[in-house]
Structure 1
Amino acid sequence: MKISDNCYVEIHFTLNNEDNEVVDSSLGGEPLPYIHGMKNIIPGLEQALEGRVAGDKFSVTIKPELGYGERDEDKVSIIDAESFAGFDQIEEGLLCQIEGEDGSPQLVTITHIDEEEGEVTIDANHPFAGQILNFSVEVMQVRSATEAELRDGLTG
């Protein structure tokens, strides 16, 4: 079966950055499951998987606009360190969830801590925003998604 919309797909992948460093991988663990056409993965990878079949192995380079987008400096802000009072410990590079301005959860990376001023610089850009992504992929499984998977997603 070829990968097309509403297919349940499992892939193993390795993601390398522009310096050819491995920054993410499913190897050594479970393959990544997703429903094709439901925007569960970045657009460039989904496009590269279209029409593939179980057993296919390939590499693809994805530019930021089809990956995690360009960096947006408006998503970098300085907040009062008191905002992290409930955390056991914070450090630069920590990915954490905070409450956004609209009250919804927001993932941010702590990029700088100024203890003197009591300020923390946070970045709400995805860690891979603005980067060219190099994927090595193996398609492990392709089948029609069940009604429950289509209705509820993969957490259902």
Structure 2
Amino acid sequence: MQKVQAGDTVRVHYHGRLTNGTTFDSSEGRDPLEFQVGSGMVIAGFDNGVLGMEKGDKKTVQIPVDDAYGPKNPEMIIEFPKDQVPAEMVLEPGMQLNLNNSQGQVVPVVVKEVGEAIILLDANHPLAGEDLVFDIELVEIVGAPSRIIMP
């Protein structure tokens, strides 16, 4: 049976959770996730986790911070002037907002603290600093580069 190799396009079902068991994402009730292995479409630990799997295989993969979304970067904590927020907007810690950067790109942020003059915003990925656990089921290998297979 064919085993997943770098460059293959695969379809997987997955259940992602934190090490404390809290689910953060799952393909349950949706089409399987399709991606090309090794292309950077998914985090490195997930990419590496599917290597060598065969259709129908199920496994649990522990992904350390460095192979997931990396550690929290203190430089991604932004001090934002409160007087630049519309007066009618009530900000609370944990609230998710979108900012536009100097190139006009949308940057999702989370309100960390609301002070008298400054709001602290966290622009780190929500899963930065977390070790992750994924239950993965390989549904199929959709496409693979041509290979010479020795008899």
TM-score, normalization by structure 1: 0.78
Aligned counterparts of 1:89 and 1:12: Cα–Cα separation in 2: 39
Higher radius of gyration, 1 or 2: 2
The change in CA–CA distance for 1:103 and 1:57 in structure 2 (over 3 A counts) is same
Runs of 4+ in structure 1 displaced over 6 angstroms? none
Per-residue CA deviations over 1:109-138 (Å, capped at 9, x if unaligned) read 222333xx2532211111111111011111
**Residue 29 of structure 2 is aligned to residue 28 of structure 1:** yes
Give the partner amino acid of 1:126.
H
Match of 2:42 in 1: 41
The CA deviation at 1:89 is: 6.7
Per-residue CA deviations over 1:4-46 (Å, capped at 9, x if unaligned) read 2332211111112121121221112222221212100000110
Match of 1:152 in 2: none
Aligned counterparts of 2:24 and 2:55: Cα–Cα separation in 1: 24
Structure 1, gaps ≥5 residues long: 147-156
**Residue 5 of structure 2 is aligned to residue 4 of structure 1:** yes
The alignment-based identity, stated in percent, is 25
The change in CA–CA distance for 1:91 and 1:37 in structure 2 (over 3 A counts) is same
The change in CA–CA distance for 1:104 and 1:3 in structure 2 (over 3 A counts) is same
Structure 2, gaps ≥5 residues long: 146-151
RMSD across aligned C-alpha pairs, in angstroms? 2.6
**Deviates most, 71-80 or 94-103:** 94-103
Match of 2:148 in 1: none
TM-score, normalization by structure 2: 0.80
Aligned counterparts of 1:53 and 1:95: Cα–Cα separation in 2: 39
Match of 1:16 in 2: 17
* 1:16-95 superposed matches below 5 A: 16-81=17-82, 83-85=84-86, 91-95=92-96
The change in CA–CA distance for 1:88 and 1:56 in structure 2 (over 3 A counts) is farther
The CA deviation at 1:61 is: 0.6
Whether contact under 8 Å (2:6, 2:37) holds in the other structure is yes
